[in-house]
Structure 1
Amino acid sequence: MKKIGFIGMGNMAGAIACGIEKSGFLKAGDMIAFDIMDGQLDKVKELGFSIADSEEDVVQQSEMVFIGVKPQVVEKVLQPLKDLLKEKAIISIVLGYDYAKYNEILDASTRHIFVMPNTPALVLKGMSLLEETHSLTKEEFAFTLDMFASIGEVEIVPSHLMGVAGTVSGCGPAFIYMVIEALADGAVKEGMPRSMAYKLAAQTVLGSGAMQLETNIHPGILKDNVCSPGGSTIRGVEALEKGNIRATFISAISAALHYK
């Protein structure tokens, strides 16, 4: 019996699976995976994961089942598994399928929790949101909490905030990659080699985030501390404000959250 079985091995599920193995929380041999696209399994095959023949095979061989398929196929995938999932526990990262939604489609004996992770889990710097309302046992919840803590930070979030919280941490990496790319482009424009520009920009973002988390100082104060009177940084801040950077990021969160 495997500790975790993965149904669906897309980018997010793959980042989690590889991160869990990298962190040492579970060995590759403790996990089994299945995806209808064989190519999606290459990354975990190389690590030594067991590969299942079907979704049914995953459920039968796993203590807990991880659901990482696309939202539009969740019910199609789970319906044939409904009986097999009785008395089992599932962890789902499928957007839109929270505690209430799973109660509608699963047998009452199936325990479940909705988690919203992000792709930096691959490098053990993830931000995972665990829905506060769930039906896991105390031991299963503790295991789930420890597993996601092994690949980054964890926050337990009330159900009504999962949408906006997931937008910040789930969509946010794409927005920050654009910031890294743009900062690097500015440096390249001024003559810096691109590889150096990416390193400087990425490390600056990483260090700035770590400093805010560790000091808990308001980001506006941290910004002010870098801006000398009449200096270069405040002139750069002015250029960003002229480009409506704050309003644009706020709009990005709202646009992503309310997408239908």
Structure 2
Amino acid sequence: MIHFVGAGSGAPDLITVRGKKYLEEADVIIYAGSLVNPQLLEYAKEGCRVYNSARMTLEEVLDVMRSGEKEGKITVRLHTGDPCLYGAIREQMDVLDEENIAYDSCPGVSSFCGAASALNLEYTLPDVSQSVIITRMAGRTPVPPKESIESFAAHQATMVVFLSTGMLKELSARLIEGGYTEDTPAAIVYKATWEDEKAFVCTVGTLDKTAKENHITKTALMIIGDAVAHNHYERSKLYDPGFTTEFRQGTDTK
């Protein structure tokens, strides 16, 4: 069996209970060494074979999986955050499907959740933003034309931008072209939930300046939108005394 496991956003105690159990049982671990906290490998049992996929191709990763399967071993493919976001898991699973190799997926705490915790932020504030757009800038890996930063900016929803720390000047320009103003609240969160986490609140117009002043060049998320400022939002109806739910009868407060 192969377990795809979300390592969480960085802090080793933010892996799920199930994910930790799989790590402890694993005979083989293939981990994304460029992003996964190496402290998680301390959960591995003695004799476990550990591979750093940062130095491997897809074909080499699959060869390790096949070898483990032939030997009847339990293999953990340890991805950063939650594997479903920018984890490149589908291309692995498709080959496993073709070869009838069994696998499952264990979710993890995504770094966009960790970034919110660093700022004590709620992404979905009533009357401010009820949607979160998770995206990235086009780099060596392209982005579909219909998913441009400008087209998403037109919605004025909360936006979380991955994998784009080295392109912040262009990101600001494209956000403004799409509809945000230079003064729209924004934030940069570096290594969310790691011991050396840093978080900076700024604006769309000062993203690049803020990153340069604080020597942030990689491993950061950008959060865009009025939810960052968390001012002037409406109170939740769910906990309003006058709001009736399945579990509670509302009262007339007039």
Band of TM-score, shorter chain: 0.3 to 0.5
Alignment TM-score, normalising by the size of structure 2: 0.34
Alignment TM-score, normalising by the size of structure 1: 0.34
More helix by share: 1
